[in-house]
Amino acid sequence: MPSTYQPPVATMRFLLEHVLDFDAQMAALPGLEEVTSELAGEVLTMAGRMCTERLAPLNLPGDAAGTKLVDGNVVTAPGFAEAYAEFVEAGWPGLAGDPEFGGQGLPRTVQIMLDEMVSAANLSFGLFPGLTRGAAEALAAHGSDELKATYLGKLVTGEWCGAMALTEASAGTDLGLLRTRAEPRGDGSYAVTGTKIFISSGDQDFGNNIVHLVLARLPDAPAGVKGISLLLVPKFLPGASGAFDERNAMSVGALEHKMGIHAQPTCVMNYDGATGWLVGEAGRGLNAMFTMMNAERLFVGIQGLGLADAATQNAVAYARERLQGRAADGRPGPVPIIAHADVRKMLLACRAFVEPARALAAWTAIRMDSADRHPDAATRDAASADVALLTPVVKAAFTDFGFETTVLAQQVFGGHGYIHEAGMEQFVRDARITQIYEGTNGVQAMDLVSRKVTLNGGAPLRAYLDGIAADIDKSDSGDLAVQMRAALAMLEEASATIAAASGDADALGAAATEYLNLFALVSLGWMWVRILAAAPALEDAHSRDTYAALAAYYASYVLPRAGLHAARIVAGPATVMALDEALF
Amino acid sequence: MPSTYQPPVATMRFLLEHVLDFDAQMAALPGLEEVTSELAGEVLTMAGRMCTERLAPLNLPGDAAGTKLVDGNVVTAPGFAEAYAEFVEAGWPGLAGDPEFGGQGLPRTVQIMLDEMVSAANLSFGLFPGLTRGAAEALAAHGSDELKATYLGKLVTGEWCGAMALTEASAGTDLGLLRTRAEPRGDGSYAVTGTKIFISSGDQDFGNNIVHLVLARLPDAPAGVKGISLLLVPKFLPGASGAFDERNAMSVGALEHKMGIHAQPTCVMNYDGATGWLVGEAGRGLNAMFTMMNAERLFVGIQGLGLADAATQNAVAYARERLQGRAADGRPGPVPIIAHADVRKMLLACRAFVEPARALAAWTAIRMDSADRHPDAATRDAASADVALLTPVVKAAFTDFGFETTVLAQQVFGGHGYIHEAGMEQFVRDARITQIYEGTNGVQAMDLVSRKVTLNGGAPLRAYLDGIAADIDKSDSGDLAVQMRAALAMLEEASATIAAASGDADALGAAATEYLNLFALVSLGWMWVRILAAAPALEDAHSRDTYAALAAYYASYVLPRAGLHAARIVAGPATVMALDEALF
């Protein structure tokens, strides 16, 4: 059975136009004045067609075929190279890219909606343009004019691909431990030597250049993170003719055997004195990487959302078709299993997450567009702080809830969900990586409690929570408002606890994941408040009914989780730290 | 990296001897009077050695090799046939089997501890003897003397294997829809025709006979579950010489492509007028299957526990070895990640589930032994009711919490956890099936709320809850007792809600999974109360410290989940049933 996927473009348009005030927001941003939710809808309709017609059909076969290493060269799954060429030809990689370098100059907000659909249709594929965009962002922010002139345009358009080479076997979360070396050659270039693991899109057979951004140590660099520099290391160097036809001294050591994203070539990369150039200042490599980290982490959160939506759509379709058992309403059986309360709960739980998550992602992306472009510095700063605050929440919560959603959706299929051909187990396996890469979700939670809560003395958090409180007060959303006030009060109290624990790594570590979950539950509930407030604008009464039912489910079945996380924060770190390390 | 697995035999002995009063319980059961926790410990030590030396080493390679269908014959992963032969030779399949038919006659309680270790070491392998035992139990309870004389001994010893052929493409949870036919031939045998799916151990290359128990309809059988009969259909029939060398008219249509348990041949089976014999009365097939369902479902719960323990052991080992980051205590970094609060929480959550789950499983198995053997009918009935009550809880909660545990343990590994070679992702994939097969966990929850809560007018539930209350009152377990009283009060109230909703399928369906989780949280907490009460008997102060810390974690971080489930039960079915089926 091929997977069902309907691009949620109508919903996206509704969110932009009625929930998030997109048109007015864009009108204030130089370069985006003409971008409206109508235009976004048109672009996304085309994007949705590409996702359903070109990418989704390659997803299940790509999982089965996987990637291969043949004579040192990566061979991608059938159809991927052609699909990538079409993707580039249509201009999708540069959707939000700088027009000066061949991009379309559209908002990040539209980009993340494209990202959601691409992830839903084919996550393994989506990582090719995703990492390319990340490399382009880092290069744009930190590269020399010369490097940019050579490489940036090719990356923005996707003609060449990008890869980010950070992790080593002994240096994951703790990049300060990395050992790859970069030796200056005296001609402005460096010889890069070392082995990196888990390198997504490290190599492929698309017939183009691949620009690796590699973290390495220069000679005499200090130990730890301050000794790390970023180098641009292309697969192909300009040869004698000036064409990029000379193979650099780098190779694929192996393809990782992974739980999922089988069609994505995750490489062990060997750099054997490969030629590279410094991006940004020596010793400031992590800084350069973190420039684009917000966007990359938001992208990963979006992947969780996209997979959750695709899985949910399939579960709903299956629950309508699958006939088993009898219903309480007495109609003759067997009935579609969507009649059963337990199945309905699973579907409601899935959709009650997906809808507000999409809204919150778009809200965050709009703030990102403001941070990039608003003419007023204070407005930019405030937007930037919101993005900093929300980034770990979107990354971790969307991937944790997203994974849970794929598991629930798979469960709706019963035994059939465990079988490859149904496609549901692939969603689960693919979603699992999103909780891990670009910083594990534990790392995201530590970022939130140790840096973001106290950012600028806590002012951005204060403003964020006040905004939520104001929207609740404006709403007439009944039980949802009651539950939201209770949950918001818990979040306020927990925020004070976190702020008071500043610098106490154990207290913060014990509270981190709980706080992030509490924060996410309130934030998603806030989006429900805003969606319900905007719902009267919908012409379709059925859509209003759907939102009302999902929001009610969120209020009475999901928001009570807030109390669990609050209780754990109150419990504090003593219980967590008590047991001797040897006695686990 | 090969997976770590230390058989938890010392813990098992402690539970039997000091927590569960095993020796005195067995002394009251005819045929088991001589069985002590010391004897059990000796048997389990041998079993543990077999698991670590023979089965665990085949687990990861078996996952990679999978099973193949070659010219219509299943080829199992390298080493499986040899390991099965040794397993049989050593007498493990018949550990708790009837001595009259070649079994060892040991308690089920010892059997489930063996099951846990086998599942932890190699779940794909464990299903071969597991399904054989299920077939033996059904045959023992319902088969004619003639069938038993021919087949039962072979199944009890494991010389022949068993398979259970229930599911069809359109008949899963709702077996009433099945269409496989059995036509009487007039000689006492039947011609069985139909296609079954998801048949674990449906075929293999162990060189022995495979006894399929097949659900089918006799001619003119009524529609629905009352028209279903159970037939014994062996792969090999007695040929002219009397030897079982004549191939029956059945074949493997395909091997299912599954998310996990890759080394287990899950078959599509075609019966093409295959010869079979009725087991039990015509039309009473489901009844015959349900005879052994409690044991099978308990076994599946145990699988969740075994995988969770194996995953946890590996996560602890990795967290001790993996050096990343700095600790709050100021020692020089990088430190083992077990120093980080967030990692500790994951490990604590894993172990805080595994330890009381093992105790609760053993408690349930002891009740099963009493139900089988106690000389007093009233005592047998009470034990049997406890087993009926606990079976869906153990099956569903142990597999749901077990799956969550494997996911947490995988998360401890970071990116390495996503890689096949570490073995952690296999635990996750293998654990996932336990939530689905032998009745999905949603089906278990419906069984609990619609049949078990109100069993015998609710008396068994009343007695169970009173027993928990009494143990809490006897304990001096501080915060755990406080939290347990609160959670037990919620369970009492929820039980009243469920009893009052009797017959209302929507109300029961909306509450079912919540109630089961609440029931499980209280039951596991009860085991923590009992473990702490027994802990002074431990000679090792370190073990006492470990239990104290884990129980404290359970009290303050896990038990608060009870409130979430209670709140959802209070919320009731209106929210769940409101949305029109077309509008999801």
B378 pLDDT higher than 90: yes
- Any CB–CB contact under 8 A between B186 and chain A? no
Q: How many residue pairs bridge chain A and chain B with CB atoms within 8 Å of each other?
A: 271
The CATH number of B9-142 is 1.10.540.10
What is the pLDDT, as a whole number, of residue B294? Answer: 83
The per-residue pLDDT of chain A, averaged, comes to 96
Which pLDDT does position A507 carry in this prediction? 97
Closest Cα in chain B, distance from residue A390 (Å): 20
Q: Are A428 and B259 within 8 A, CB to CB?
A: yes
Domain boundaries, chain A: 9-132, 161-285, 451-584
Residues paired with B73 in a beta bridge: B70
CB B515 within 8 A of CB B448: yes
Q: What is the mean pLDDT of residues B262-272?
A: 98
| A476 confidence band (pLDDT: 50, 70, 90) | confident
- Name the band, by pLDDT with cuts 50, 70 and 90, for residue B4: confident
Interval B125-135 mean pLDDT:
97
> Does the distance separating the beta carbons of A575 and B549 come in below 8 Å?
yes
Burial pattern A263-278, b for ≥16 Cβ within 10 A else e, equals bbbbbbbbbeebbbbb
B179-216 pLDDT per residue, tens:
999 999 999 999 999 999 999 999 999 999 999 999 99
B465 or B242, greater pLDDT? B465
* pLDDT tier for residue B552 given thresholds of 50, 70 and 90: very high
Would you say residue B266 has pLDDT above 60?
A: yes
The mean per-residue pLDDT over the stretch A426-454 comes to 97
> A9-132 with A161-285: one CATH topology?
no
Partners of residue B176 in chain A, C-beta under 8 Å: 334
The answer to whether A542 contacts chain B (CB < 8 Å) is yes
Whether A440 has its CB under 8 Å from any CB of chain B: the answer is yes
Nearest Cα of chain B lies from the Cα of A312 at a distance, in angstroms, of 10
Length of chain A: 584
pLDDT band at B2 (very low <50, low <70, confident <90, very high): low
Residue A290 touches chain B, beta carbons under 8 Å: no
> What is the nearest CA distance from A308 to chain B, expressed in angstroms?
15
Coil, strand, or helix at residue A144?
coil
Name every chain A residue with its beta carbon within 8 A of the beta carbon of B435.
411
Kindly state the tokens that stand for B214.
């097949």
Q: Which residue has the tokens 């597991």?
A: B130
pLDDT at A191: 98
The CATH class of the A9-132 domain is mainly alpha
Active site residue A438: yes
Q: Check if the beta carbon of residue A109 is closer than 8 Å to that of residue A365.
A: yes
Q: Is the pLDDT of residue A294 over 90?
A: no
Show the tokens assigned to B145. Answer: 């003397």
Contact assignment for A324 to B351 by CB distance below 8 Å: no
pLDDT of residue A2: 54
Return residues 189-208 of B near A (CB < 8 Å). 197-198
| The amino acid at A28 | A
> If you average pLDDT over residues B495-524, what whole number do you get?
97
Q: What is the pLDDT of residue A478?
A: 87
Nearest-CB residue to A414 (from B429, B436, B509): B436
Chain B residues near residue A441 by CB distance under 8 angstroms: 411
- Nearest CA to B215 out of B279, B124, B144 is that of B279
Does B557 sit within 8 Å of A560, measured CB to CB? no
Identity of the residue in A173, A256, A563 whose CB atom sits nearest the CB atom of B564: A563
Beta bridge partners of A274: A192
Name the catalytic one among A17, A116, A137, A438: A438
Q: Is the dihedral of CA A536, A537, A543, A547 positive or negative?
A: negative
In chain A, residues with a C-beta closer than 8 Å to the C-beta of B200 are none
DSSP assignment of A356-380 equals HHHHHHHHHHHHHHHHHH-SSHHHH
Taking 70 as the threshold, does the pLDDT of residue B320 lie above it? Answer: yes
A568 to B557: CB separation less than 8 angstroms, yes or no: yes
Residue A374 backbone dihedrals phi, psi, to 5 degrees = -60, 140
What does the mean pLDDT of chain B come to? 96
Mean pLDDT of A139-156: 97
Angstrom CA distances, B564 to A76, A451, B206, B570, stand at 46, 30, 49, 10
- Closest Cα in chain B, distance from residue A109 (Å): 26
Q: Does residue B267 sit at the A interface (CB-CB below 8 Å)?
A: no
Distance from CA of B106 to the nearest CA of A (A): 32
Question: What mean pLDDT do residues B401-414 have?
Answer: 98
Residue position matching structure tokens 């990088």 = B334
Amino acid identity at B548: A
Averaged pLDDT, A181-188: 97
Across the interface, which of B437, B549, B576 has its CB nearest the CB of A348? B576
* Residue A1 pLDDT greater than 60, yes or no: no
Q: For residue A556, give both structure tokens.
A: 């009475």
Residues of B in contact with A172 (CB under 8 A): 324, 414-416
Give the model's pLDDT for residue B484: 98
Give the whole-angstrom CA distance, residue A408 versus residue A424: 10
pLDDT for residue B424 is more than 90: yes
**pLDDT tier, B69 (very low <50, low <70, confident <90, very high otherwise):** very high
Match domain A161-285 to its CATH number in 3.40.50.720, 2.40.110.20, 1.10.8.80, 3.40.50.300.
Answer: 2.40.110.20
pLDDT of B1 higher than 60:
no
With beta carbons less than 8 A apart as the criterion, state whether B449 and B498 touch.
yes
CB B252 within 8 A of CB B68: no
What separation in angstroms does the CA of A232 have from each of A67, A155, A278?
Answer: 25, 12, 6
DSSP code for A470:
H
Give phi and psi for B23, each to the nearest 5: -60, -45
Helix residue ranges, H only, B292-376: 293-321, 341-373
* Percent of chain B topping pLDDT 90: 95
